[in-house]
Structure 1
Amino acid sequence: MRTSITQAPFGQLTDGTPITQFTLTNAHGLLARIIDFGGIVTELHAPDREGRLADIVLGFDTLAPYQGDSPYFGALIGRFGNRIARGRFTLDGREYVLPTNDGNNHLHGGAPGFDRRKWDATVDGDSLRLAYTSPDGEQGYPGRLDATVVYRLTDDNELVVRFHAVCDRATPVNLTQHSYFNLAGQGSILEHLLAIEADAFVTIDAGSIPTGALAPVAGTPFDFRSPQAIGARIGADDVQLRNGQGYDHCFALARPRGAGMMRAARVVEPVSGRVLELYTEEPGVQFYSGNFLDGSLRGKGRTYGHRSGFCLEPQHFPDSPNQSQFPDVILRPGQEYATESRFRMSVAR
């Protein structure tokens, strides 16, 4: 049996546009639900070591909260994931001004970004294909961008996310997936054991903008080269933790030259035994420890309290359009943006 895909209504936008939820189910009963608004992963059900399924992503039962105060739960992020300082960058001698929606900075493509757009959905065998055309000037970005995201749930218990984009003018592109995970299904994530394949991380200032430096993780609370409880050092007296109000940093993956897909991170929830591994072609992964969740949001029978979910966002580095030493994020006409990440679920015995 290969993955099956079914669909059902998931409400309407305020202008009456209908939204559809697609359910992907693989041969082992693993289940993912995705809507064509924001490409949002609304549910992801994975078994524990006793075979009991639990929904391991934060989200809502209905469409309305995703249009409201949702902190990017489960969404596709673009045109540029993470922050751009002061909402400005210079490209080919011209300065572009973007709206600021995170203090003085531009975050996750602006408001609205790709997370609040209706995507055109097509079912192609065992894959869900989502397409969105971002017009020239949308949120201040130059050029038209034709973006496609393919979701696939494999019989290896992987949720595959494949991005593709082309443009008609040079433009920054940094697409990512922004699910919040809790492998226990609910409660705190501070006892989850995290390992990240990174020797360095991007340091940030008090506004969460990169300083331009990569700092070694050795000897710091950011050393996850061996598994550590997320909460073990999150309260340490460390300027970087203060700047992020916890972990909200991009880790520079220890990627050999020419490496393609590689494991970036592994998370284990000790009680249930659920394991999540992230494989990616990207140079970095943003680890966010749910610092701004405060109990004001509720969905799927849960209250989303402080640090009740974590994010592993495969991506290029924040503020890259303003940081020439970081890997290039400029897509030009005739080039193709193509990258794939895989979220693999398993169980630790």
Structure 2
Amino acid sequence: MEKNNISHFKSVHNAKLFGIMPGGNEVWEYKLSGRGGMEVCFINYGAAITSLKVPTADGKKTDVVLGFDTLENYIKSYALQGAPYIGAVVGRYAGRIKGGRFRLNDNDFQLSKNHGNNTLHGGVTGFGQVLWEAELQGSSILFSYTSPDGDEGFPGELTVKVIYTVTDDNELLIEYKATTTKDTVLNLTQHSYFNLEGHSQTIEEQELFINSSKLLETNAENIPTGFILNVANCPFDFSRPKKCPYKIDTSFVLQETVLPQASLFSSATGLLMSVFTNQPSVHIYVGGSCSGKLKGKDGADYHELSGICFETQNFPDAPNHAHFPNAELKKGEEYYKYTRFKFEQIKKQDL
């Protein structure tokens, strides 16, 4: 594999060498900070968020995302059954595609299968396992990657840009842009696990709010059946804040004009994280099968309740359901999606 020449970042104050890939490519870590006190670190392996530190009322900063201390642990995590995709950008298609198949422009496409008989989060080698080009731009960092035509079975050479921006109001804005040389399908998301009490704690007492009255019904393989269910009075009704579930792997239907679309609150730290997006759903994920197998940052032992994902995205398996939001990206068009995570100190009675 050809060595990726990004050595010009060695002289940048907010960048440092994070590790070396088995093929010799360098992986770098970059830091952005805002006047509000928030600090966010990223690596160009998977365009992943490695830490997100937010000021708390005690004058300290809490790292509210899961991550690893070494590149080796990021790479090893993808070899686990039920890989966690910690902190990574997910693509080409976030979520599951039934049978790894879809039809586009009267052509059938077979994708690589990496989750039983299905394709999950882009296939065997998704965007979380590749090296991205990185460019610091003031309060933003731009990650770029070109996915070749036929990558994991997807049509078209796809050029992707992910822009992270840290604002002075303690917000993290994530913007996704993409173009393609052939009509294709695309669904990008960010797969950070959040814990407002610190990545070594548990989320079980934190309160989840989802501004949604509907979710996607799924089958035993967690593939959407095509039916959309009302959440009223069911265990997954989070239209009023309540404690995080022990396990959940569910897509909720969103409306762009109903804000915020979701939030997480910790009474222990007083931190409120609000989620804003132009995506049609948020996939909430808690649990997994990696408990006891993951050694996180600072020696933390990660488990099922270490964090919660807010995967803002299109519906899983949308290419196979005509009534789901359109997942097609046509040649000559530009894909644009965004998600904004806002952090603020608040009292519970003010919610």
Structures share fold, TM-score greater than 0.5:
yes
Instruction: Check whether the contact 1:199–1:254 (CA below 8 A) recurs between aligned residues.
Output: no
Number of paired residues? 329
Match of 2:18 among 6, 10, 17: 10
Offset at 1:262? 4.0
Offset at 1:27? 1.0
1:279 maps to 2:276 = yes
What residue in structure 2 maps to residue 92 of structure 1? 105
Structure 2 counterpart of 1:21, which letter? E
CA distance in 2, matches of 1:104, 1:33: 35
1:211 maps to 2:212 = no
Where 1:67 maps in the other structure, the secondary structure is helix
Where 1:306 maps in the other structure, the secondary structure is coil
Structure 2 counterpart of 1:69, which letter? S
Match of 2:171 among 158, 169, 185: 158
Where 1:115 maps in the other structure, the secondary structure is helix
What residue in structure 1 maps to residue 329 of structure 2? 331
Offset at 1:293? 3.7
CA deviation profile, 1:191-243 (whole Å, cap 9, x unmatched): 11011011100111110100101100101011111101113xx5xxxxxxxxx
Instruction: Check whether the contact 1:204–1:210 (CA below 8 A) recurs between aligned residues.
Output: yes
CA distance in 1, matches of 2:37, 2:54: 8
Query: What TM-score, normalized by structure 2, do the two folds share?
Result: 0.91
CA distance in 2, matches of 1:292, 1:188: 16
CA deviation profile, 1:154-204 (whole Å, cap 9, x unmatched): 001011100000011111100000000111112221211011011100111
1:297 maps to 2:310 = no
Structure 1 counterpart of 2:251, which letter? C
Instruction: Check whether the contact 1:262–1:281 (CA below 8 A) recurs between aligned residues.
Output: no
Structure 1 counterpart of 2:275, which letter? L
Q: CA RMSD in A?
A: 1.4
**Cα pair distance change 1:5/1:280, threshold 3 Å:** farther
**Cα pair distance change 1:114/1:34, threshold 3 Å:** same
What residue in structure 2 maps to residue 248 of structure 1? 249
State the identity %. Answer: 39
Match of 1:43 among 39, 51, 66: 51
CA distance in 1, matches of 2:57, 2:287: 26
Query: What TM-score, normalized by structure 1, do the two folds share?
Result: 0.91
Structure 2: runs of 5 or more not aligned: 1-11, 79-83
CA distance in 2, matches of 1:100, 1:294: 24
Offset at 1:142? 0.4
Runs of 4+ in 1 over 3 A off after TM superposition: none
CA distance in 2, matches of 1:81, 1:176: 6
What residue in structure 2 maps to residue 123 of structure 1? 136
Structure 1: runs of 5 or more not aligned: 235-245
Matches for 1:143-292 after TM superposition, within 5 Å: 143-185=156-198, 186-231=200-245, 234=246, 246-255=247-256, 259=257, 262-292=259-289
